[in-house]
Structure formats: structure tokens, C-alpha cells
A and B are shown apart, each in its own frame.
Chain A
Amino acid sequence: MLTRKLSPLQMAIMAAALAVVLFPVFWILMTSIKPPTDWNASPAIWVPTKPTLVNFKTLFDPDALREYGVGGVSQSATKAVLGSLLASLVATALSVAIGLLAAIGISRYGNGSKATPLIILSGRMFPPAAIAVPFVIIFSSIGLTDSYVGLIAIYVAATLPFSTWMLKSFVDDLPREIEEAAMIDGLSRLRAHLTVTIPLIRGGLFATTMFIFILNWSEFMFALVLAYSNISTIPVQLAKYVTATAGTLYGVQAALAVLAMVPLVIVGYLIQSHLARGMTFGAIKQ
């Protein structure tokens, strides 16, 4: 992909940046295969001498750690993984779909007023912690706490400003005359947007979907306050690996974190070409 030769200085800077970014990933990967005795070892053990999969096993079999004398892990992570997948996938799909409609409406038809995009963004100006409690109060009175419907509703509401704004910028960058020419060719407004606009902002659409998925996948605050027993997500589950006897189960946490990375890495790999194009789309004046 990169055809330009880098100078030694550039290489060094690049290597330093990579080291900073990748070190935590490396540490988590290593911790996830460390036995409990190595988790908190001092001096730190960088690469475990006796790697084990027991941490991963513990995720789905809470008693697996007993062979190391660690008990009190109460719950399997299966529900959290499925819950995260469900909530993130559905919320992302809804957020991007609604955001796309809003983006086209604002960009092409000036729907609402000039302030509409700002008003939409204003929802993001409160820290999630500030609105989490009111949400819980409202949701408990309408029976949406501890349910995926409630969680997804919050996720859509929380990410909609981002999907709207990102998609609006991609639609803005696409010359509207391309759609207009299609309408003159004989397409209705709706069909022109479906068959002309959307394919042409495909890169942006993928990039937005990816971004919203990451937001939902890693969300913690809302899930924490909404999840009692029926629902769970990976970030909430991560916080539960603290036992009275053995303290924080770093290895198990790391194992779950590694699992949580998998879908992102796969999706990221699959769409990297679209992602790159999506990111540079705005830079090109057509």
C-alpha cells in the first residue's frame, strides 16, 4: 500500500508511535495467557513462561480457576458477549439508518433550520454520567430498565448525533448535481438517493458504521446502570471480575478484552479499504 520510502527518522518516529499504541495490546495479550500467579508478579513478567488458556476457559466456565485456588467467580461471560453483540449490532444498524435519513434531509433539503445539526449534536454535550440517572428513572417508570430494548434505545440516542454528523459531511461532499441529473434521467427523489447517493458515499457509510459500532461495543456507563440481571454487556462483565478473596482477576479480564477485540479486528480488516477511502473522501474536491 505504502510505496514511498521512509527516511530513517520517519521510521524511528513511526516505530515509537506504534510502540505506544501497541504496548497495551501486547500487555493484554500476554496477561490473558498468564496463570494467576503471574498476574501481579513483581518484577513484572513480560512473557509468561507457562502460558495457559485457563483465563479464557474461566470466561465460560466460572469454576475453571479453582485448580489455581481461585474461586468466587460467579458468572459466565456468555450472556455478556451475546448481549454486547445484540445491543451493538441492532443499535448500530438503527443509528446509521436513521442518521443517513437525517443526513440526506439536512444536507439536501435543509430540513429543520440551520441550527438543526447543532441541536442534534447538543445531546452529546452532557457527560453520559449526568444523563444516565434520569434515564434510569424514566426507563424504570416505563419498564425499559434491564431490557435490551431500553439499552438499544439509549445507544441509538447516544450515537445518532455522531452518525448524523459524519454522514452529513459525506453527503455534503457529494455534488448534489449527480443526484439531480439522475432525477432528470427519470428517477424519483427517493430512488435517486437510494441508487445514486448511497452507493457513492459507501466508503463514508462503512466508516460511520464502524465508528458507531465501536462506540456501542465499548459503552460502559449506560449498560452499567441499566443492567440488573436480565441483560449484560462485555464492559459490564469486565467490571465484575473482582472477587472478595483473590481481588481483581486481571488475567480473566484480559481474556475477555482479547475476545472483545476480535470482532473489531475482523470488521476493521474487512473494510479497511473502504475505511481509508471514507476517511479521505472529504479531502477530495470534486
Chain B
Amino acid sequence: MNVLDIRGLTKKFGDFVAVDNMSLTVREGEIFGFLGANGAGKSTTINVVSSLLRPSSGEIRILDKDIMKQSRFAKMNLGIVPQDLAIYEDMTAYENVSFFAGLYGLRGIKLKERTIEALDFVGLGDKAKSFPKNFSGGMKRRLNIACAIAHKPKLIIMDEPTVGIDPQSRNYILTSVRKLNESGCTIIYTSHYMEEVEEICSRIAIVDHGKIIAEGTKEQLKSTITDVKDIRIELKSVQGGVVEKLRSIPGVRNVSQEDHVIRIHSDAAVDNLNRMLKQLIDAGMEIRSVEEQEPNLETVFLTLTGRNLRD
């Protein structure tokens, strides 16, 4: 069963087309990765699905119901974890979750139970009476999630829920996402951290210039990149200007450097590894290891969009 069905969605802001005739399907039980660089149309799509923006054209169905015609049904089954925190700092954690859950028609004992359940789920059960202004960034992010799940939606959209938090909270959130999914929630997950998406998402769509340019499982996406090789060279030290020299080698598409490691994306058909190594040796650099890697999601994204995810 399709939990979300987007057909021919277009959203324009004046003459600017933010989402261009997009079609997308998210099936029940998936953790669906939605990837795109800044300005690709990802957030606009999420905002239209959440009824924050009106579509210029197209149709969106949640659990087979048109969100424009049966908006209450759609909203009752949707939970959003916005990228920016959406909590009241001057209300306790309990009051925050209880207030938002109350807007979904929960009352009395049921409201109390669901509120406590949601707080326990994100590990804030013992902080129910505390004010978020005294919370760490990670705790606030977890409360942000609790506010979106107390009414037990079928579909949860998480827009970069781990941005700017410590690794411990990040792991906690990723575990929570998996647990939510296991409990029957379908999740749409966006992140700038490719490794997160690779780790938890069962299917992924890459959006660029308002269009879905690739969609499938991690394996399916990686298999589309047969014409690119991903070379990883570890050096003792890296001298300035070497990245530019490597880029000038025929077949090289992209070169990036992180500490002593240089990563090169190059056309698979061009045999240019010798020239790369010669360039480094001529520049007086000591090579520690050379490795040709399987393309990962980052390679796929870079190859398809020509941009890094964090651009």
C-alpha cells in the first residue's frame, strides 16, 4: 500500500519553479530517504505535503486520500519533525507534547498516556516537568520528535532531525527512527549526512532542480554508476596545488581532499591511475595507500547532480 503518492506536483513562486512536475511514491513500512542539495526543492515538497504550502498543480494522496479534499484525514495521519525546532521554551516538555497531541483530538487519560509514551520513547520521560530552555540541543531535538509522534501518525516526515547535535543524541535519534519504523510508521527522512541515509533508509530519491533524478534502493542507485570509479589515495602529507593538478588529468571528474586523504572520481573507461600517482610522486609526496572503492551514495549524488550534498 502507498502511504504517500505524489503525482505531477508543481510548485511555483512567481516565475520560479521550485518543484517541477514531481511524481513520487512512498510505500508502507519504508524509511524513505529524500536527498537534495540546498534549493533542490526538497523542503518545498515537504511543505506542500504538510499543507504549509498550496500546490500550483498536481495531486498528493496520503493513504489514498487526496490531501486537499480530505485534509483532516491527511493531517491526522501525518507527523512532521521540522528542521527548525518547533517547541515552546516556556512550557514544560510534558506541556509541549500534550498541547500538540491535544490538537489531534486526544483528550483525558488517553492524552496523558500518549504524552508520557512519546516522552519515554525519546528518552525524556524523567524530564517531563523540565522546561526546554534548560535542555541541551540534542534533548530539544528529541522533544521536537516527541511532539510529532504522540498522536501516532502513519507517516512521519523528518526534516534533518540530527542537524547540529552531539554524536550521542544523534545515535539515539537514529535508533528511535528505526524503532518507530518497526512499530509500523512509514518515515520520510532527509539529511545532509549521507552516511545516516545510507545506514537507515530502505529506499532513496534524489531531487535536483525540483525533479526526482534518481529513485531506488541504495544498491539500485549505486548500480547506476557504472561509468565512474572512486579512488582513495592516502598520503603522508598533502602539498598545496596538488588537487588542481589532479583535476587537470583527462577523465578526472572531481577531486576532494580531507586531511591526508584525496578522493578522486574519474571516468571508469579512462585508464589514468598511473598518471595520478606520477603527479603525486613528482610533487614529492609520499603515498601510503591506494584504494579503488565501490561507489557509495555520495559518489552517486555527486555524479548525478554535480554537487556535494552539503553545497
Do A and B interact with each other, yes or no? no
- Chain A interface residues toward B at CB < 8 A: none
- Chain B interface residues toward A at CB < 8 A: none
